[in-house]
Chains A and B, each alone.
Chain A
Amino acid sequence: MHSKQSKWLWAAALLAYAFLYVPLIIVVVYSFNDSKLNAEWVGFTFKWYDMLFKNEQMLVAARNSLLIAIVTSVCATVLGTLAGLAMHKYKLRLLPLLVLTPIAIPEILMGVSLLIFFVMLNMTLGLVSVALAHIAFCIGFVAIVVRSRLQGMDESLVEAARDLGATPVQAFRLVTMPLIMPGIIAGALMAFTLSIDDFVITFFTAGAGASTLPLQIYSMIRIAVTPEVNAVSTLLMVLTLCLILLASKLAPSALRAE
């Protein structure tokens, strides 16, 4: 009886995973296919990757994506860590709500409202507007990870440091910070990943000359899903996967609590 049940569970789990991963595997496989059609296997080739690295538009988009992701992860990590600390220390009802709302708000609403806001400020849309938008929605994610790390921390350590004559700043720098560091790094990696992959908010806030990789891919599939799109998608997938693995290694508890 018991084993029968677990068999069904295994089967269900396998099906669910297959549904998630088979399409991704197909994209990866076809990115090495020596034919323009995503329909039949002709032979192995690297030519799509070669074409990709010669495609200037693509390289500019990749550069924009990376630049925005780096700026976003740095800023969102600093602000998100501060927010996490504040949420942990001051048990205010409103604060978590304010910090975490951007996570719950539908992206499309956030994109539209940010666009209207930027236009109202008479700001020229460009890389800066995209980075600001990304920072806004990444802060909450970083704050959650940092807060859950703090909740798992032994408060008596900080108290002991204070008893031994450390100033609040020293106590934070020498005790709290090293202890929550894995959480901070995991948060930064998450922010980086979210920024690299975001489409909806970027779509609304990107101005002239600030196309990112997801925007580029989207405009290309209007015509047909070419192997070049498969190739760039594969690279993006690999990058995202590495970052996620790294983040979960660093802060397993935080990501499990999610």
Chain B
Amino acid sequence: MKKVLLALMLAAGTVHTAQAEDVLHLYNWNNYIAPETVKNFEKSCKCRVVQDYYGAMEEMLAKLAAGAKGYDVVIPTGFAIPPMIKQNLLQPLDKSKLANAKNVSPAFMNTQFDQGNKYSLPYSFSTTLVGYNDKKIKELGINPSSWAIIFDPAVLAKIKGKVTVLDDSREVFAAALMYNGYSANSTKPEEWKKAQATIIKAKPFWAAFNGQSYIKELTLGNIWVAHGYSSDMFQANIDAKAAKRNFGVAYGLQKEGNTLSLDSMVVLKTAPRPDLAAKFVNFMLDGKNASELTNMIGTGTPNAAAAPFVKPEMKQNSAVFPSAEQMKKLQQLTALEGKALRDLNRMWTQVKTAK
């Protein structure tokens, strides 16, 4: 008994001290880096990559705020960067080691969440848009490139009960604000009121608020139009093809504008291996390496040098490579606080309970 215990403790110990060899600890979303990219990086740095995952930004922030250490690189979404900076969790990036930073398209640099990119460099983005059953929407002659497809009762009459929108107050209001020609980050109460009226008018035509299973519903053909994330629509299309459906799931940006969620790479102050972290960030900013994630899960890439390596059928997709014109209309949502947040919650409750 004692011997077994000792052996196990030693085994656990060796696993533990193994961290002293060359290991990069990446704290990331699950399935958010291509396996071949990891293998190539391991070859180039002669080290191992160990990944840990979070399921939500709040989770990652909570864990790091509590003092969890041992991770080198984290890949947070825009709004999570300011609290990380405020809590002194990040170390400034040494640009001299990051020659590939020049590959990032200027439109994704210098965002409100990290002015001057002192701490973060863009990794990948997704947009919130409309995904739709290409066969049905074509048959009905509906134009999917405007938010009218989920807000205009005249259009909705043709697809009543076949539309879902995200169960996310901020995203739905942002879409309605843009449809009315306002900024997604508007702070004017009268604009919010108007957006709310738009939502309540459209609601009777919607099947549900759905943020969970719309990929499946689209793939099965139960719904024809879904408000959701671009990478999910990409997945829905792959699933529809795999299930040999007689339609595909198409998606693209809306002419009034879309919200953008940009994930960036940051290096923690407590990183055990800041040298490997810098190598990793630089490696991921290489065009070919950045393209592998886009090819795998269909996210957009902020990396201009990735274009030649992205699958041709994806290159045409505005959600993956927005034109300069469309880029101007992409907005990252700011974090709402205090009164604005309370107002939004109140208005959302009114939407939910509206007949």
Residues of A whose CB lies within 8 Å of any CB of B are: 35-40, 42, 57, 67, 70-71, 74-75, 78, 112, 115-116, 119, 124-128, 131, 204, 206-211, 215-216, 218-224
A222 to B280, CA, bound (A): 25
Give the residues in chain A near B54, CB-CB below 8 Å: 219
- Per a CB cutoff under 8 Å, which of A37, A204, A209, A222 touches B56? A222
B52 near A: Cβ within 8 Å? Answer: yes
Q: Is the CB of B66 within 8 A of A116?
A: yes
Give the residues in chain A near B15, CB-CB below 8 Å: 67, 126-127
Distance in Å: Cβ of A127 to nearest Cβ of chain B: 5
Q: Is the CB of A37 within 8 A of B216?
A: yes
Residues of B whose CB lies within 8 Å of any CB of A are: 1, 4-5, 8-9, 11-13, 15-16, 19, 23, 25, 27, 29-31, 50-56, 63, 66-71, 215-216, 219-220, 235, 239, 242-243
Distance in Å: Cβ of B108 to nearest Cβ of chain A: 23
Q: Is the CB of B69 within 8 A of A124?
A: yes
Give the residues in chain B near A223, CB-CB below 8 Å: 30-31, 235
- With both beta carbons as reference points, the residue of chain B lying nearest to A223 in the complex is identified as B31
Q: Is the CB of B16 within 8 A of A219?
A: no
Contacts A209-B70, A216-B53 known; A40 to B8 CB distance under 8 Å?
A: no
Q: Is the CB of A115 within 8 A of B19?
A: no
Q: Which of A38, A39, A71, A208 has the most CB of B within 10 A?
A: A208
Q: Is the CB of A67 within 8 A of B12?
A: yes
Give the residues in chain A near B220, CB-CB below 8 Å: 37, 39-40
Q: Is the CB of A207 within 8 A of B68?
A: yes
Contacts A74-B4, A119-B68, A215-B53 known; A220 to B63 CB distance under 8 Å?
A: no
- Per a CB cutoff under 8 Å, which of B4, B51, B56, B66 touches A112? B66
Q: Is the CB of A115 within 8 A of B66?
A: yes
Q: Is the CB of A36 within 8 A of B239?
A: yes
Q: Is the CB of A204 within 8 A of B63?
A: yes
Q: Is the CB of B216 within 8 A of A38?
A: yes
22 A-B contacts (beta carbon < 8 Å): A36-B242, A37-B220, A37-B243, A38-B216, A39-B216, A67-B8, A67-B15, A70-B8, A71-B9, A112-B66, A116-B67, A124-B19, A126-B16, A126-B19, A208-B69, A209-B25, A211-B53, A216-B53, A219-B29, A219-B30, A222-B29, A224-B215
- Per a CB cutoff under 8 Å, which of B8, B12, B27 touches A208? B27
